[in-house]
Amino acid sequence: MAKTKIGIVGCGGRMGRMLVAEIAATKSCAVAGGCARPGSAHVNHDIGELAGIGRTGIPVGDSAEKLIRASEVVIDFTLPDVTAANAELAARLGKPIVIGTTGLSAEQSEAVRDAARDIPIVWAPNMSLGVNLLLGLVEEVARRLGADWDAEILEMHHRAKVDAPSGTALALGSAVAAGRGVAFEQVQQRARDGITGPRPAGHIGFAALRGGDAVGDHHVIFAGTGERLEIIHRATSRAIYAKGAVSAARWVVGRPPGLYGLREVLGL
């Protein structure tokens, strides 16, 4: 059986290197190539040596367009502006893309949705099986408990993460809102500082912690009168995200245009 040729945008980053290694270790997949930003020290280095898996004979490029053309599907865990541009480029070239980037603005998110009219896109704020099971569980709990139980979401990530709250935390908040049948944008409370007054009924609160090398912790707290329900997911290795992204890349090839999540990939 022919192997799925997968390209990695941003292959020199921490996640990009793990993706290269995961693709190379997956029998049904092959590394089509990788690219880094023009001028990066990673350009022209062997992609396998960069990922710590040994020489592959595939040099790192600096053109996303060349990479997308050479791949059946590409995976992008980069920066919001880069991801939005690559989604548009993939749509123009007719190639599917898997996106794990978080922190996109409303305009950048709309660019991804526009691209999904022409190509299949898997866009997930978190590529782990556990988190995607958690999303469904949180929605069901919120539906059953209702808005009388206060919902708070606490997340912690490593010191280098640039966006807050995390994309996963926001997805969990959206799941709470969906379970309650309300618009997330109208009930989210991103931060508190100073004399804030009593907690508004029905709001979904967020707290973001940053420090050390924490891969990703997410706590969903439903606080009622006299009792509290807490649901927790802790990631201890980024390998779970690489595995999920590669599974998504294999799944999305040949799908009709549209915007998919990892729940569709996993059949949840």
All structural domains of the chain: 4-123+238-266 (3.40.50.720), 129-235 (3.30.360.10)
Residues forming the active site: 157, 161
207 SS3 class: strand
What pLDDT, on a 0 to 100 scale, did the predictor assign at position 267? 85
- Measured between alpha carbons, how far is 111 from 165 in angstroms, rounded to an integer? 21
- Cα distances from 214 to residues 155, 158, 170, 171, 225, in angstroms, run 10, 4, 18, 19, 32
The answer to whether the Cα torsion of 113, 119, 125, 130 is positive or negative is positive
Looking at the DSSP bridge assignments, the partners of residue 29 are: 4
Task: For the chain, state the CA radius of gyration.
Answer: 19
pLDDT in tens, the chain (268 residues): 689 999 999 999 999 999 999 999 999 999 999 999 999 999 999 999 999 999 999 999 999 999 999 999 999 999 999 999 999 999 999 999 999 998 899 999 999 999 999 999 999 988 998 999 999 999 999 999 999 999 999 999 999 998 999 999 999 999 999 999 999 999 999 989 999 999 999 999 999 999 999 999 999 999 999 999 999 999 999 899 999 999 999 999 999 999 999 989 988 7
Residue 39, CA atoms < 13 Å, CB-side half-sphere: 0
Chain centroid to CA 137: 19
What pLDDT, on a 0 to 100 scale, did the predictor assign at position 268? 75
